[in-house]
Structure formats: C-alpha cells, structure tokens
A and B are shown apart, each in its own frame.
Chain A
Amino acid sequence: MKASLTLHPMLFDKPEKKATRDGFGEALLELGQKDERVVALTADLGESVRTHAFEKAFPSRFFEVGITEQFMIAAAAGLAMEGKIPFATTFANFGTGRVYDFIRQSVCYNQANVKIAVTHAGITLGEDGATHQMLEDLGMMRTLPHMTVVVPCDYLETKKAVWAIAEHVGPAYLRMGRANVPLITTAETPFKMGQANVLREGVDVSIAACGVMVYPALIAAVELEKTHQISAEVVNHHSLKPFDSKTLLKSAKTCGAIVTAEEHQRTSGLRAACAEVLSESLPTPIQYVAIEDTFGESGTPDALLQKYGLTKDNVVKKALAALRMK
C-alpha cells in the first residue's frame, strides 16, 4: 500500500464498516455550522438521507418539500441563484433519472450552485429491488455541461467530498450508498476533487475503481500478488468529472492493462470515462467489472454483489483477462 495515503490500519484484517450517508449527515451539519449560506432540502426521505441533524440544528434552513423531486431541484436552483448553497437530497434514482430535465435546464444551464447529494445508489440498496437501484446515474450526470460528479468510497472520503463540493462553485452530484461499507481511508488520507488517489502501486495491471468497488479492488490486488505473483495497481477514481486523465494515463503506461470496477451499468460510467481517455491518448486493453446491461432485484447487498459479479473474484478474473490482452 502507498504509505503516503495513510489508509486504515485494519483494512485487510477486520475492516470497520460505516455507511457513506452517515458521513454525509455529519459533514452537512459541520458545514451548516461554518457557513450559513448552506441550506438543505429533502423529499420525504430525511431519515434515510441523514439530514435530521442538520434539520434539528437549523430548522429555518431546512426544507422538507414532500415527495416533489422535480420541485426540489428547481427550488434548489432558485435558492442557489439567491446566494444560498443548497443541498438537494433524496435517493439516487429520484435525484437523477426522475428529474434529469430539471437538473439539465434549471441547474446546469443556469450554472446554479446546487449540490445534489443522493444516497441508496446501486444494487447495494438491497431489498427494495430494481425500481430503486439506480445504475445509470453516473452516465446521466457526467454528460451534463458544468456538472461535477463525485463518488466517494467510504465514510470519511464522503465527509471530505461534502466539504469539497460545497467549496466548489457550480453544480455538483454526490453519489452515496445505503449499506455499511469498509473504512478504507483515514482523516490523513488526502482528498482533492478531480484528482484520483493511487491507493496501491503496481506494474502489471491497473484497477480503476470508484465507490463501493474500491474495497474489492484492493483485496483483489492482494490476492493477485499472493496467488498469481501479479503486481496490481489500484486507483480510486472518486471524481468522475472532472476526470483525472493524467493519473489514469500514467497508470496505463506503467501497467499496460486496465480493469475498471464500478457499481453502475457497464456503459457511460467509469469504464466509459477510462475508455474515452485511453482510446484517444494511449490505446490500452481494458476489462471491466460492472452491471451487464440489466436491472437488479431484491436481496441483501452482499448477495446482490455476488450474483451480479461485483466481487473481488471477478476483479481478479478480469485482471487476468486484461493481462492476456497485453
């Protein structure tokens, strides 16, 4: 592991787990204390998206709008254009697909300083099933002009991401999950929006991951080394936009083969972002771990990750396949 990143000491033993959305709730509260321009909106999901502490601390700056997501996004734009820093919060599917046109016109075309912070993204939402398992959001959001897209991998990275998007002037999308996920980073781990973190250096194959797939990528790298004597690099691409092409290209040059890993459809997300950069500047063999153009279903997060191939084993398999393409 890269020592300079001071990752969590228990990472490979018995990782501590916490939900990214808990980091969001805490950071939002801290942010509210520091900056009175910060306001929050939620669409009947305050408990789930963890805005309760903010609501309690700043009741006049909190807007429960009921189940009106279209309104929530438009109103957030209005608040932003009046100098507020609004966080519009709901589940990933209600905060993107359902309101895409509102984000496009009222937020992005207006260049309104709106932060869309969503939780329950991807299949790890679990038992609620496919209707709620948003798997296309990264594609939708990163194709919008002026939008910034951040996918933190754990609780602490989420907190840093919240501060970073609040500081950034312009529309931003923050994608979080529901489930408890391993703590990978520590307070000392650097975080800079638009700058990927090389978590582990390697020379044979590079694994580009984001969100909940960063952890399986890391343990896959350990297995590749132990079982196959393969040196795998692991890069945490927490920022899908702006995308850190420089780090990707450097890693691709060193390793000569790439595996992408994301909890998203195989098109339009991280895999696409990598392919766009590599195909233009440094054609490199790519394999991917992602959802195979299908919907999810009900189940526990772990069972779903297994069934849909978002696993350490699949990362290892795809790394070996990528190596064969070299």
Chain B
Amino acid sequence: MDKKKLKALKLTANTLRQDVIQMLLAAGAGHTGGPLGMADVFANLYFNVAKHDPKKPHWEGRDRIVLSNGHICAILYASLAEAGYLPKEELKTFRKLDSRLQGHPARMDLPGVETSAGSLGQGIGVAVGMAMAAKLDSKPHTIFALMGDGELNEGSCWESFLNAHKFKLDNLLVMVDRNDIQIDGYGHVVLPLDPLADKFKAFGFDVFEADGNDMAQVVSMTEKAMKTKNQKPRVIIWKTIMGKGVDFMQNLPKWHGIPPNAEQAAEAMKQLQAERVRIEAEKA
C-alpha cells in the first residue's frame, strides 16, 4: 500500500479513537479500552478492505462485518458513523434512552449491525451460519467475525470453530483481539489461552498473527489472509494494546469497562490530538 493511503488510514483510526472518547464521555458508562485497541483494525476493515455501501446497508453483495464481542461496540458505531451509516451527531446518544446505539449492539435498531451481540460466544456462531449460507449460494463475499480473546473462554466459540473447519469455510475470516485483558484482570491469569495460535491450527484454521496497532502490519496481514484460500477457515490474531493511544489507560484491566471522566477525557483527547499532529507530519 502506498504511504499516502496508509497515512489516511492512520488518520481515520485516530478519528475513530477521538470519537470513542467523546462517546464514552457523553455516555458516562461503557467500555473504553477495547474500542481504542481495535481502532486500527476497524479503520482498515471499514475504509480499506470490506466491500460495503452505507447507502444500502442490506446490499446482498456486501462483506459481513460481524462483531461477536459486542461490548466493544463504541468502535463499531464510530466506524459506521464515519462511513456514513448514521450522522456523527448521533454518537452522543450512545447508551441513552431511545437511542439506536444500544449499550450492546442491536441488529433491529441500527442498519449496519449484522447481529445483536453482548452475551459472548454467539456472534461467531452467527457468522459461521452466514458463511454456510454464502457457500450454499456460491456467493463471493467475505464474512469477518471480530472476537475478543476473553470471549474465547466461552466453549461455544470452539463449537463454532469445529464447524467452520468441517464445512471448509474459507469465506470466513476470524479476527481475534489479543489484548490479554478481561474484566477480572489479565487473561493469562483469569484463564490462560496460550498457545492460542497452536489451538487454532489444531482446529484446522490457517493462522496469521500480527501487531494490531501497527497500521502497516494490519493492512499487509489482512491482505495476506484475504488472499489465502485453502478450503479452511482463517484467523488473524491481532496483538493489541487495550486502551491504545491514551497512556494512562494502556494495558490496565480497570479500563476494560469504565468511561473517562471529563478531566480524563480532556487529557485523552490532548494525547490523541498530539498523535494526529505526528501522523500528519509523516512523509507520504
């Protein structure tokens, strides 16, 4: 990818992060760390990789972006708004009464949300079902299933992986947010998952791993995975930093499920704006 495009994606990710901070501040409750950590992956998906049309959210040929760990929906809503599925103003209604932006995504409320998710380990099954349907109808679109690593604690995820392998779903691309943090603490303490790549390999996946906060890697590894078609499901394990971009949030489990207060939000915005200036100064 040329540097200009890469720079544009970095700027988009920065915009999404700023939107996330503003949303969480306005909401006064919600998950901050996960959305910040996945901003780069979402920016690449919505603004580089996936075929989709905000004007026709139900267009049959679209790639499906299925968020399985619904609690990081702030980044989904920010991406959908940036893409034009909803007015940016509406982001301020997140988690409020009568809003289409529910605390966890609701399919019937907001076009662009492929499945309701919140209770973990279900969206992946829905995504596999969508991939089965696409295979049956010989449709070429890709089903992206975004998952948290904590979510992989749920046994039902592994039921879905077994079946993704059985039905040779090479139209499915799973993306795991490997930040090693969940509500009760560090993932490797709460319930160890390593060796995670080996587990996926043993379940019959083509496995890719990369730094999910380095846009160049995010772009190239997604491209590589998209080109890989071996009649097997694919997974990219994105190593990310929960809270990425805001130094006092980074890698601290307490920021999994809380919003910033006004002072913290101001500091976060300051840091993200400084980062934006740095990105803009990059040679393209």
Contacts and interface: CB of A to CB of B under 8 A. Distances in A.
A66 interface: yes
B167 interface: yes
Interface string A101-112: 110111001110
B28 to A, nearest CB: 24
B133 A70 contact: no
A70 B126 contact: no
Contacts of B159: 65, 68, 70-71
Contact of B122 (A60, A63, A106): A106
A211 B136 CA distance: 36
Contacts of A101: 119, 122
Given A105-B116, A110-B116, A74 B132 contact: no
Contact of B160 (A39, A71, A80, A83): A71
B160 A74 contact: yes
B140 to A, nearest CB: 14
Nearest to A75: B129
A66 B159 CA distance: 9
Contacts of B130: 78-79, 81-82
Contact of A111 (B108, B125, B133, B166): B108
A70 B125 contact: yes
A77 interface: yes
Nearest to A114: B129
B121 interface: yes
Interface in B127-179: 127-134, 136-137, 155-156, 159-160, 162-163, 166-167
Interface of B: 106-108, 114-119, 121-134, 136-137, 155-156, 159-160, 162-163, 166-167
Contacts of B122: 70, 74, 101-102, 105-106
Interface string A136-160: 0000000000000000000000000
B119 A61 contact: no
Contacts of A77: 115, 125-126, 129
Contacts of B114: 81
B132 A75 contact: yes
A63 B167 contact: yes
Instruction: Pick the most buried of B115, B128, B137: most chain A CB atoms within 10 A of its CB.
Output: B115
A73 interface: yes
Contacts, number: 109
A318 interface: no
Contacts of A78: 115, 125-133
Given A65-B166, A71-B156, A78-B115, 18 more contacts: A39-B136, A60-B136, A70-B155, A74-B160, A77-B115, A79-B132, A80-B129, A81-B130, A82-B130, A82-B137, A84-B136, A105-B117, A105-B119, A105-B122, A106-B116, A106-B125, A109-B116, A110-B116
B117 A65 contact: no
A104 B116 CA distance: 10
Contact of B134 (A63, A65, A82, A106): A82
A76 interface: yes
A66 B163 contact: yes
A65 to B, nearest CB: 5
Contact of A71 (B118, B128, B133): B128
A101 B156 CA distance: 12
Contacts of A65: 159, 163, 166
16 contacts: A61-B136, A65-B159, A70-B159, A73-B125, A75-B132, A76-B129, A78-B126, A78-B128, A84-B133, A102-B122, A105-B117, A106-B122, A106-B125, A109-B107, A110-B108, A111-B107
Contacts of A80: 129
A75 B128 contact: yes
A77 B159 CA distance: 15
Interface in A85-130: 86, 101-102, 104-106, 109-111
A68 B163 contact: yes
A71 B125 contact: yes
A76 B160 CA distance: 12
B66 to A, nearest CB: 8
Nearest to A80: B129
Contacts of A63: 132, 167
Nearest to A101: B119
A84 B108 CA distance: 18
* Leading 4 A-B pairs by shortest Cβ distance: A78-B129, A74-B125, A75-B129, A82-B133
Nearest to A146: B108
Contacts of B124: 74
Contacts of B131: 78
A70 B128 CA distance: 12
A80 B107 CA distance: 13
